[in-house]
Amino acid sequence: MVLGKITDEGVADLRSRIGSYYRVDRPIEVATRDAIYHFVNSLGDRNPLYVDDNYARTTRYGCIVAPPCFMTMVQHVSGLKVGGLPGVHTFHSGSDWTWYRAARVNDVIACTFRPVEVRDRPSEFANRLVISYAESIYRNQRGEKIARNRGWSIRTERQTAKEKGKYKDVVKPKYTPEQLQAIWDAYDKEEIRGAVPRYWEDVKEGEEITPVVKGPWRMIDIALGSISLTGNEGGHIYSILQRRRHPADSYVDPSTGLDDQPHRGHWEDFMAHQIGVPGAYDLGYHRIACLSTPMMNWVGDDGHVKKLYGEVRRFNVEGDTQWFKAKVTRKYVEGREHLVDCEVWAVNQNDIITTPGRATVVLPSRSEEYVVPC
């Protein structure tokens, strides 16, 4: 594994790339029923709006639509694609989404991608880190804007993070039968609003939204997230070609002599330890997609999740459980839109907030003409 260093020259080179548009390689271009299904399946999302033709035809959309973060399958937005800093690791660390309309089944989706900002600062995890911000805008076949995402990733030196060992004392959890039962009970309590409108007038500031639990995270859960969101990387000859193009992003396993990429840290403890992570861990943009689930459940078919901001601050390793929660902080009207702001967050089994964020939704109103984006 190439042990790259963060240098002033490397950071300057990254900054020189700001504003340039990058080609989107082999994306998911069509929101087919199967593509939507596989994405929903990877999230464990049970909303029938995404998978049930008969149900979806009765909604205002008239057909199956894709979940908001499905756009990640078209292009996940982080600094990774920008390149630079060879041999320096990349962790997706957050997303700032705005959605203008839903993507309907069989929509053809195109996007643009460009880096927009680079920050350089000290780090407890690896002494120094670089944050690379990028932006994608997604449009359908009619040229209508579907979404905008500003995503960012943290770049850290692998060897430095391993030596500092910030998370060396973190161990995978072991659950009692009673703890597991509490998780199963939380799954059973999940509420999907569906066809029953949630009117803006009925919302109260300070009210809490029913949590959505995910976990305990097993290897299959991590793998499904990885495949659904990064499946366009390809296998066999495609992975070999990728390593030839980016040799510094390669690692030779000392036990087998086989060359592979550090992305394997998502499903292999050994590789995770090489980059300073306590064990195989989830993908950041998959966790952000999970953060949108309680909001979509809450607004129902007649609502619209307009904005979602989330920061991936703690690793979610195999065995961890995350509760995705939300609370209403403000309700107001702008123009003809009846809006609700919410605090959203994910908290693990140790009561540590791993993913703080915020959201804005549009709800139907009893007193005004129905104005919710389609």
Q: Pairing state of beta strands 322-334 and 337-348? A: antiparallel
Mean pLDDT of 40-65: 96
pLDDT digits (tens, 9 = 90+) for 315-348: 999 999 999 999 999 999 999 899 999 999 999 9
Residues constituting the chain:
374
Residue boundaries of the structural domains of the chain: 8-362
- Name the band, by pLDDT with cuts 50, 70 and 90, for residue 232: low
Query: In whole angstroms, how large is the CA radius of gyration of the chain?
Result: 21
SS3 (DSSP) at 211: strand
pLDDT digits (tens, 9 = 90+) for 130-159: 999 999 999 999 999 999 999 999 999 988
Cβ(372)–Cβ(304) below 8 Å: yes
> Which one, of 50, 10, 45, 18, lies nearest residue 33 by Cα?
50
> Distance (Å, rounded) from C-alpha 183 to C-alpha 190?
11
Mean pLDDT of 229-245: 71
State the angle between helix axes of 219-230 and 33-43 in degrees (0 to 180), rounded to the nearest 10: 150
> Distance (Å, rounded) from C-alpha 250 to C-alpha 92?
18
The overall average pLDDT reported for the chain is 91
> Which one, of 134, 97, 150, lies nearest residue 305 by Cα?
97
Min mean pLDDT across 51-65, 102-116, 268-282, 294-308 is at 268-282
> Distance (Å, rounded) from C-alpha 88 to C-alpha 101?
37
- Name the band, by pLDDT with cuts 50, 70 and 90, for residue 78: confident
> Distance (Å, rounded) from C-alpha 255 to C-alpha 97?
42
| H or E element at residue 179 | helix 177-188
For the beta sheet containing 322-334, the strands, ordered from the edge strand earlier in sequence to the opposite edge, are: 110-123, 127-139, 145-157, 88-99, 304-311, 353-362, 337-348, 322-334, 208-214
Q: What is the DSSP letter of 137?
A: E
Hunting for tokens 């430095």 — which residue is that? 160
pLDDT of 370 higher than 80:
no
- Name the band, by pLDDT with cuts 50, 70 and 90, for residue 26: low
Give the model's pLDDT for residue 202: 97
Higher pLDDT residue, 294 or 162? 294
pLDDT digits (tens, 9 = 90+) for 345-362: 999 999 999 999 999 999
> Distance (Å, rounded) from C-alpha 188 to C-alpha 183?
9
Cβ(152)–Cβ(93) below 8 Å: yes
Phi then psi for residue 150, to 5 deg, are -105, 110
Min mean pLDDT across 193-202, 247-256, 283-292, 342-351 is at 247-256
- Beta strands in 200-352, from DSSP E residues, in sequence order: 208-214, 251-252, 259-260, 304-311, 322-334, 337-348
Give residue 224's region: left, alpha or beta (phi > 0; psi -120 to 50). alpha
- Measured from the Cβ of residue 142, the count of other Cβ atoms closer than 10 Å reads 7
- Count of CA atoms in the C-beta half-sphere (13 A) of 136: 30
- Beta strands in 39-143, from DSSP E residues, in sequence order: 88-99, 110-123, 127-139
pTM (two decimals):
0.93
Phi then psi for residue 189, to 5 deg, are -90, -5
Residue/partner pairs of 181-185 with CB below 8 Å, 24 or more apart: 183/213, 183/215, 183/216, 183/321
- Beta strands in 208-286, from DSSP E residues, in sequence order: 208-214, 251-252, 259-260
pLDDT of 374 higher than 80:
no
Mean pLDDT of 90-103: 95
Q: Which CATH number fits domain 8-362: 3.10.450.50, 3.40.50.720, 1.20.1290.10, 3.10.129.10?
A: 3.10.129.10
